[in-house]
Amino acid sequence: MNARVNDEPASVSLTEQAYVVLRDRLVMLEIKPGEPINEDRLRTELGVGRTPIREALKRLEQERLVVAFPRRGTFATDVNISDLSHISEVRRTLEPLAAAASAERATAEDRTALTELRSRLDTAPSGDNTELLRTDVGVHRAIYGCVHNPFLEDTLISYDNLATRIWCVFLPRLSGMAGHVDEHVPLLTAIIEGDAKKASELASQHVIGFEQAIRALI
């Protein structure tokens, strides 16, 4: 009994590690849409057993990042541009809510971290769209963490991941990505200063801008 209990934290930790690595590869399309997930290769690469990989894949399936077919295996989901309106509808509601909540609930430690993040944005290079998109994802996740509601945070991350996959499809054709990321500077400022109304308005504009930018390329 003691051995089983002692093993649980390690098992959970390995599952989380596998989940994070797989999630981010799927989100950034490093694992291509429709590509099969090779569990044996992942176990070797990540140095984990079969159970953490399969538990991570179950979670990713719930988040619509992979799909499992009986006797065929597990595959990265396709990116369907037709989903854009549905994803944006949810984000137009939740992103302003999260920004306002972050402005109201962020701790002193949160605000210090966001201030440091804002400083890094001011000096971030603007030529690499992939790195800019990674920065965009990082800022969103930092804001979500300041909401201090794990249920809302998980939902926000899930929909931002789906939106980011759509970004990635169009990344080679996107211009003005640096400007999209720069929009986070006033948003972070509003949250740091506790201006919930301003933060909500800026988050709403940011989500609408994303949808407009994608639709302009369709």
What does the pLDDT look like over 33-48, one tens digit per residue? 999 999 999 999 999 9
Model pLDDT, residue 3: 34
pTM confidence score: 0.86
What does the pLDDT look like over 95-137, one tens digit per residue? 999 999 999 999 999 999 999 999 988 776 666 778 888 888 9
Model pLDDT, residue 170: 86
Model pLDDT, residue 2: 34
| Alpha carbons 87 and 163: distance in angstroms, whole number | 7
Averaged confidence pLDDT in the chain: 89
* Residue of 28 and 177 predicted with greater confidence: 28
Is residue 1 very low, low, confident or very high in pLDDT (cuts 50, 70, 90)?
very low
Question: End-to-end alpha-carbon separation of the chain, Å?
Answer: 57
Mean pLDDT of 80-93: 94
What does the pLDDT look like over 166-217, one tens digit per residue? 989 988 776 666 667 788 999 999 999 999 999 999 999 999 988 988 888 8
Mean pLDDT of 21-28: 95
Q: Distance from CA of residue 95 to its chain's centroid?
A: 13
| Alpha carbons 65 and 93: distance in angstroms, whole number | 22
Domains along the sequence of the chain with CATH:
2-76 (1.10.10.10), 81-215 (1.20.120.530)
Model pLDDT, residue 105: 98
| Alpha carbons 189 and 14: distance in angstroms, whole number | 36
Model pLDDT, residue 40: 92
Model pLDDT, residue 173: 76
CB-count exposure of residue 195 (10 Å: 0-12, 13-18, 19+): middle
